[in-house]
Amino acid sequence: MDTIEKSVYIVDDDEAVRKALTRSLEQRGYQVKAYASAEEFLETYQHTAPGCLLLDVRMPGLNGLEVQEILTERKIPLPIIFSTGHGDIPMSVRAMKGGAVDFLEKPYPVEKLIERIDSALESASEMHEYAQKEEHITNCFSQLTPRERDVMIRLVAGAADTSNKVIARDLDISHRTVDDHRARVMAKMQARSLAELVQMSKICGVYKSE
């Protein structure tokens, strides 16, 4: 775990629980930020590095499951470990279906929590890396001109079977112009091959499989 970011966010309306968890985790080398409400967390949280969220289910205002839904809607890749003193099976099933790492019922052994946190942080590192890759590819795609996007869409739609001649006829432009656009698309997207460009197009939402 030494090479993995060890940030843990705690959201729990019980002050005694927040303080005890913060003290216990910091003693073990984790970077901890604690919040008394879901609203406070959502207003101040900035996804700049991998981390995991230890989230109470039942709280005044937004509850834990609602926070999970909001993070999903915002496409924030933050692994969640739910904790509750009043859990039930339907609630835990909903949480796990929503992508939660685990659902712990209070009180729980700190060793069990540490095990779940370490597992969540490993996943968080991978998720963060992929999110950065997606952001980079999306930014590259935004630099393409409308005509370059037209060429890219046709390139990935037919992959190796789509010739420059076919694209030129389809767009009513010259073969040489297609060559130029194709070269600029590959350069701007930083794609090393047509196969890689196809994978990028899926992330950008322009790939249409037959």
Assigned fold of 7-129: Rossmann fold (3.40.50)
The half-sphere exposure of 35 on its side-chain side, counting CA atoms within 13 A, is: 22
Q: Give the pLDDT of residue 159.
A: 56
Q: Give the pLDDT of residue 151.
A: 92
* CATH no. for 143-204: 1.10.10.10
Q: Considering the entire predicted model, what is its pTM?
A: 0.67
Q: Give the pLDDT of residue 48.
A: 75
Q: Give the pLDDT of residue 1.
A: 45
Domain positions in the chain: 7-129, 143-204
Q: Give the pLDDT of residue 3.
A: 44
Q: Give the pLDDT of residue 92.
A: 78
- The C-alpha angle with vertex 45 and arms to 39 and 25, in degrees rounded to 5, equals 100
Token output for 111:
């060793």
Q: Give the pLDDT of residue 2.
A: 45
CA distances from residue 86 to 39, 64, 164 in whole angstroms, order as listed: 21, 12, 63
Cα dihedral 54, 57, 61, 67, rounded to 10, equals 60
Q: Give the pLDDT of residue 180.
A: 93
Q: Give the pLDDT of residue 209.
A: 58
Instruction: Going residue by residue through the chain, which has 210 residues, state the pLDDT in tens, using 9 for 90 and above.
Output: 444 568 999 999 999 999 999 999 999 999 999 999 999 999 998 877 789 999 998 888 898 899 999 998 888 888 999 988 776 767 777 888 877 888 888 888 889 999 999 989 988 888 878 888 888 999 999 999 999 999 999 888 865 556 788 888 888 888 899 999 999 999 999 999 988 999 999 888 887 655
User: Residue 161 carries which DSSP code?
Assistant: G
Same fold, 7-129 and 143-204: no
Q: Give the pLDDT of residue 19.
A: 94
Q: Give the pLDDT of residue 95.
A: 81
Residues 46, 33 contacting (CB under 8 angstroms): no
Q: Give the pLDDT of residue 12.
A: 93
